[in-house]
Structure 1
């Protein structure tokens, strides 16, 4: 699936994320690196939403690609505040929150992103319904997380969940 052609490499990001969350990424290291290399060299930042942009930024930084944080600026108004429409995008906010921890010294926008996302995710937590709340657990990336993750609905919602479940069941 990681090597299967898709209309854009960006569509592989959720699959890479799911493989990592299930703790089976060590079986696909070469494929993940190749996919991320292609994503790194693609230039389609303009048409990505907050979730995709943040996921791209985080995964590339985690794999030691030199990714500038300028892509996040498109989610701010000219006066410097994050766009108010982002407050309702819980998936995007959560991914931006996780991505902002990949910051380096001097990346003020990511410091602002931590503050913004913490505030709005805290407010949203009180109103999240059960399925959405369980579809975004925040846990470490390790194999024992696979067993835990399979008990929750987000695993069934992954686009490649059948493959990942099979891999888990055969001991990968």
Structure 2
């Protein structure tokens, strides 16, 4: 007869350790001494030249009537092209918001004769800039306008590489491509590859290099409606997109950075 035995007892043996005090831990830490900050803790004051701001405002007030008159000038094809190129310049300078009504009216009228405007136009800079401006303001111009610059294979002509100004404009225009703008996908690949070498050998000025390396943020922040396809097979998809886009904010307007920056500083002071 087996006699039940008690289960063995497991005794946990604790090893005595020395507890480090906070002072000991502090003394064992190693710290890397950092260089002193070149900035002070606070900006107590910022000097603003009020006369400089007044001078800038006066300059803008002087050019406003001239620009408005130029935008609303004769409606010929050549004039329309020049006015669209002027709109691009205004956007680049951050002054377009001063002429919103004139720009909208100009583009509305010009878009109605876009085919006539593009007919026979073989300047890469002009075509790319007109394309960029129309799409920038929500007018869907077909990317087929760039087929005049491609070979039968669909690749862009290598002769375009020598036109640095046109290549940069095509690069910017490529950022306004929509889903099925395959030619614009090719344009981005083509221009990115060659603009890097043009920037490296000094053909493109330093001021334009950030636009090559970083792309054009203005274009990526545009409202969704300019990306909508006009293909028949995409109509159902476009209707769904339009419903989603109703609540989206319109694109941020460009601003005169110099004046706005000083105005903000003045108000905070």
TM-score by length of 1: 0.75
Alignment of 1:2-13 (within 5 A): 2-5=71-74, 7-13=78-84
Counterpart check, 1:105 vs 2:179: yes
2:149 alignment counterpart: 75
CA contact (8 A) 2:164 2:203 kept: no
Question: 1:34 pairs with 94, 105, 127, which one?
Answer: 105
- Give, in whole Å, the separation in 2 of the partners of 1:145 and 1:137: 18
RMSD of aligned Cα (Å): 2.2
Structure number, greater radius of gyration = 2
TM-score by length of 2: 0.50
Question: 1:91 pairs with 165, 169, 178, which one?
Answer: 165
Name structure 1 gaps, 5 residues minimum: 148-172
Q: Over residues 95-141 of structure 1, what are the superposed CA-to-partner deviations in whole Å (9 max), with x where a residue is unaligned?
A: 111111111111110000000000010010012257x4436863656
Larger RCO (CA under 8 A, 6+ residues apart)? 1
2:191 alignment counterpart: 117
Q: Over residues 55-77 of structure 1, what are the superposed CA-to-partner deviations in whole Å (9 max), with x where a residue is unaligned?
A: 11111011111211110111001
Name structure 2 gaps, 5 residues minimum: 1-69, 219-253, 260-269
2:63 alignment counterpart: none
